[in-house]
A and B are shown apart, each in its own frame.
Chain A
Amino acid sequence: MTDTPLLEIRDLSKTFGSVQALTEVDFEVREGEVMALVGDNGAGKSTLIKCIAGIHGYDSGEIVFDGKPVTIHSPKDAARLGIEVVYQDLALCDNLDVVQNMYLGREERDWFFRLKEPVMEQRTTETLRGLAVTTIRSIRQPVASLSGGQRQSVAVAKAVQWNSRLVILDEPTAALGVAQTRQVLELVKRLAEQGLAVVLISHNLHDIFEVATRITVLRLGRDVGVYDRATTTQQEVVTAITAGIPTKVAGVAETAGDAL
């Protein structure tokens, strides 16, 4: 793990009309770490992710990627930097098979527009093997016939096979059972071990304490703190989520957080 962050966000603000969704948020993630992003509903997690992914623009603030200031205006900008987002339920086409989904929108072709099926099939096998996803019996079966955990694994594999450097997972375990959640969390750990920067959004603190290196807490569109998994407790994080005090806003009473 390196000490300089791969992605660093400073003072990011975003409004939707009169609603202030994000206020001067700071956020960072390093290569080889899992940074969890937590907060109550409406805390601004999704908005922050969408700003990084280029789905929303942002009003003010600075994004530094790999030491260089960058602007991200569209999903293509994000993809060019190597930022990939795995969305909860919208990532895969049920009627296509695993290989077809992995290469969707970036198909390999040879002469006369023909798809290079053998190449894609082979690389898919390699990618899945590299991530130790071994429960999928045939990569030529439609995604509809996979279990939830397998689908999530395919979605993650799809995101990481394009030389991505930062992978953002939006609630990857929300719809999964116990065994399947375990499967996906193992995969998340493995991504970080391979040197990628991982951002994990989740409501499940248990999951987060299992895989995260650090935890960023958002509350009401502000960041209220970054906690080291090794030195914090679930209780402390829950307190921050429900009653955390933004550290850099002047004029807010400094006592409420300590009282709890």
Chain B
Amino acid sequence: MSSEAEIVAPGIEAPDTDAVGQGGFWERTKGNVRSGNLGVLPVVLGEILIITYFAFSATNFFTAANFTNVILQMAGTTMIAFGVVFVLLLGEIDLSIAYVSGICAVAVAEFQLPASSHDYPGWLAILLGLAIVAVIGFAQGTVVARIGVPSFVVTLAGLLIWQGVILKVLQARDTIIIEDNWINYAATYYFSANVGWLIAAAITLLYGMVALSGALGLRRAGLSAGTGTALAKLAGVAVASFGTVAICNHARRPTACPEGTPLTETCYRPLGLPLAALLMVIFLVGLTYLAKRTAFGRHVYAVGGNAEAARRAGINVPRVRVIVFVISSVMAGVGGIVLAARLQSVNLNQGGGTLLLDAISAAVIGGVSLFGGRGEVRGALLGALVIATIANGLNIGGYSTGTIYVVTGIILLLAVTLDTIARRLQVRAGR
């Protein structure tokens, strides 16, 4: 890419449409890798390596039941990490997400509390909880965007404040049990085998239709559509969705056997596709649409890339920032509900532990740049998958929590190093 070679005297030849259009898949991938835009490539390769390693080193890792387990273990973190992606795209940070997720969980548990003055139905409790964290996100975002306090400080304060609120609310009771199925099903419901297949088919069909309409639109505008790429992607979606359902349908778990009988095959109950998996896909699709197909998403990338250029292009930069902090808090709330549903209760530890770092690491490992402007929503899903797989595999392999932290830390460091190198490559590929 020497710049000298490209400078032809202008006006000599008009480029043909293909050269101006999207270019082939491999061409683009090669170009991306060379200019440091690695996308999700490293994380996918990493995940395959990790799975291979554990498949051979840990018994009971490479089983259908454990696959379902990993899905449930990653669900909460993934939801929170989806929100983190947007904040990182702006080049900001949100340290309050873990305890904001805790606030939402505690609020939801409080609202559904039976035998109290406010035993609302589960769906209403969920909506109220999300509304509360949306207000929190709006407040934090306003301080960052309109007043100009660095987001690190604002959300660090948020971290302390919301942790304190959780402690104050729960200090007398320690734990609130959640009995509402609207809430608990988020992490405990499994679809039956046939419904699972239907869902996989629906996802594949919908993806195919959207891809087809996009290709037709391009063709109508007289632009090349890249049929090969589209077909490969469709095949990937089909394999992923049907494969996931197949494994989940294969999974069984032991249930209580009648007194006195030995634990045999008859005592096992089939599992199926967890509702949490479908929820993750729904949010993945919705947020990807928001980030990639709407003007708002475009503006998020623009502000993260060059806030001044965005401002001069007429974008309301503070408004974009505030909305992103609302998204971050609401997704944290969604994650908090999923986490609470898994325990079917909330306790003093809600939002504590490594949740904050797991969520941010998930986004970063998934290829979202800490410097803003680069990354995809799906990166959060892949990153959370990597983190959950490592924790799960090491756990099954009998390693201590300490080892899990060390390994996760090393992976995170690798991811950020890769991002930094990629960024430098990109600068070099420019001019």
Contact = CB atoms under 8 A, between A and B. Distances in A.
B35 A144 contact: yes
Contacts of A106: 313-314
Interface string A120-149: 011001001100111111111110111111
Nearest to B34: A145
Interface in B1-52: 1, 3-4, 6-15, 17, 19-23, 28, 31, 35, 37
B293 A135 contact: no
B312 A91 contact: yes
Contacts of B431: 147-148
A138 B22 contact: yes
Nearest to A141: B31
B310 A105 contact: yes
A75 B315 CA distance: 12
A132 B15 CA distance: 10
B430 A94 contact: yes
A187 interface: yes
Interface string B284-313: 000000000111101101101110111011
A142 B15 CA distance: 18
A104 interface: yes
A126 to B, nearest CB: 10
B395 interface: no
Nearest to A182: B9
A150 B6 contact: yes
Interface stretch (A17-25, A110-118, A230-238): A110-118
Interface residues of A, number: 52
B218 interface: yes
Interface stretch (B162-170, B219-227, B330-338): B219-227
B87 to A, nearest CB: 16
A87 interface: yes
Contact of A180 (B7, B22, B28, B296): B7
A149 B7 contact: yes
Interface string B184-224: 00000000000000000000000000000010011011110
Contacts of A96: 298, 301-302, 305
A119 to B, nearest CB: 6
B10 A95 contact: no
B312 A113 contact: no
A146 B430 contact: yes
A179 interface: yes
A132 B20 contact: no
A132 B10 contact: yes
A95 B305 contact: yes
Contacts of A95: 301, 304-306, 373-374
B420 interface: no
A236 B214 CA distance: 60
Contact of B314 (A100, A105, A119, A140): A105
A117 B10 CA distance: 27
B429 interface: yes
A141 B37 CA distance: 11
B427 interface: yes
A186 B11 contact: yes
Contacts of B21: 121, 138, 140
B426 interface: yes
Chain B interface category by residue count: 35 or more
B223 A134 contact: no
Q: Which of A132, A135, A144 has the most CB of B within 10 A?
A: A144
A211 B294 CA distance: 41
Contacts of A183: 7, 9-10
A141 to B, nearest CB: 7
Contacts of A147: 3, 6-7, 431
A92 interface: yes
B12 to A, nearest CB: 7
A74 to B, nearest CB: 10
Q: Which of A100, A117, A119 has the most CB of B within 10 A?
A: A117
A52 B198 CA distance: 61
A94 B23 contact: no
Contacts of A91: 309, 312
Contacts of A125: 17, 20
A122 B298 CA distance: 18
A146 B314 CA distance: 24
A140 B306 CA distance: 18
B310 A114 contact: no
A122 B223 contact: yes
Contacts of B309: 90-93, 104
Contacts of A114: 293-294
Contact of A144 (B220, B313, B429): B429
A95 B1 CA distance: 18
B37 A142 contact: yes
Interface string A76-100: 1001000000010011111110001
A8 interface: no
B14 to A, nearest CB: 6
Q: Which of B214, B221, B304 has the most CB of A within 10 A?
A: B221
Interface string B125-169: 000000000000000000000000000000000000000000000
B313 A104 contact: yes
B295 A107 contact: yes
A95 B422 CA distance: 13
A183 B302 CA distance: 27
Given A114-B294, A140-B28, A146-B430, 15 more contacts: A91-B312, A93-B310, A94-B430, A95-B374, A100-B302, A118-B220, A129-B14, A136-B15, A137-B6, A138-B23, A139-B20, A141-B31, A147-B6, A183-B10, A186-B11
22 contacts: A75-B314, A92-B309, A95-B305, A95-B306, A104-B302, A105-B302, A106-B314, A107-B298, A117-B214, A117-B217, A122-B222, A125-B20, A134-B14, A134-B15, A136-B20, A139-B20, A140-B22, A142-B426, A147-B3, A183-B7, A183-B10, A186-B10
Name the 4 nearest CB pairs between A and B, nearest first: A105-B313, A118-B221, A93-B305, A95-B305
